[in-house]
Chain A
């Protein structure tokens, strides 16, 4: 079972490295969107400091959304998804490996990049650290929930828009607590409660998403 997980994880990573452009697109999108705000809103330091966590989170959310259609679509189109479904290990394990690889290629670099971008909003060091932590725990949830929507809309025309409509409402609680953590910290409340809640989201979505995604994929292949 661990062998299968490792094999699929490795496969997806090496595929992503062969198509570096796609992974980079997501990151460049994230950087550009977050850089547009200081230009558009104006260089008022207090305002920027206040809106920075929300902007970073919304941009991360949209960047994750952009990358979702690449999660299953290529494998579906060339028939390898069928082959993966016929492996003699539980299908959710394989799905979990694919989601993990997706996070490593999108959510993880995005979280690592966020502190650098936070500098242009003049966030204080403690808040940057907290923002980084919320993104680090929160972006796996984006991949996990996104996988369900990507699987449900697999093979549909205009599936990209539909999966956005499906998944954005699910992202709302995460956005509230993710962006709220920094606000709570600067109000002197500490961001721990928010972090724990995001951790809880991660556990719940990690427990549900691979199974839901696997069933949705089986329906899509039917």
Chain B
């Protein structure tokens, strides 16, 4: 269970949000929305432990994430605003490094399968530098297919730059993850309709009672 307690975020003396409470149970999907600059990315980075909240805390399985980072990171798969993909390396090499850093040793077929899922199999050996923006995004997302064992996915604008086929592929991955008891936190400007999943909502624009 992921819990945010009374979070307050301040960036450059500007308060983005305060008094934010949230609980996410296994099998739930949280959709964070808000206008540009409302603190969506900061909120996700706080949840990952990359950014320290001005006040408040984040707990994973009832413990502060800052107190047991290593275990928390094992349960977490984060795909940020930046793709986190090395331009000089091929999609295949990128995936291989990402999975071995996550402590997994997937076989070549498994890696090729996840690239194929996102339609970049024919570019598997080409340096990422030669791929389009959408294809780079696909390489980043192909990691999700390998990360199915990490219960918590935190995704920053995962649908950006994707075409229809990739969007529907991502939707089905998210559905499978959530229905399998995983947790997803994501930001997007799209409506996310996933069969059998009732998404939770946090709107960062909505004024909250300061507590």
**A-to-B contact residues, CB < 8 Å:** 3-4, 7-8, 11, 14-15, 18-19, 77-80, 82-90, 221-222
Contacts and interface: CB of A to CB of B under 8 A. Distances in A.
Closest 4 CB pairs of A and B: A79-B82, A88-B74, A18-B88, A79-B84
A24 to B, nearest CB: 16
Given A7-B100, A87-B101, A79 B89 contact: no
Interface string B103-137: 10000000000000000000000010000000000
A47 B52 CA distance: 57
A88 B52 contact: no
Contacts of B86: 11, 15, 78, 80
B81 interface: yes
Given A78-B84, A86-B48, A87-B73, A14 B89 contact: yes
B98 interface: yes
B72 to A, nearest CB: 8
A15 B90 CA distance: 11
Contact of B71 (A11, A18, A88): A88
Interface in B25-52: 48-52
A11 B50 contact: no
A85 to B, nearest CB: 7
A221 to B, nearest CB: 6
Interface string B58-89: 00000000000011111010101111111111
A78 B85 contact: yes
A77 B80 CA distance: 12
A85 B50 contact: yes
A11 B98 CA distance: 10
B88 A15 contact: yes
B102 interface: yes
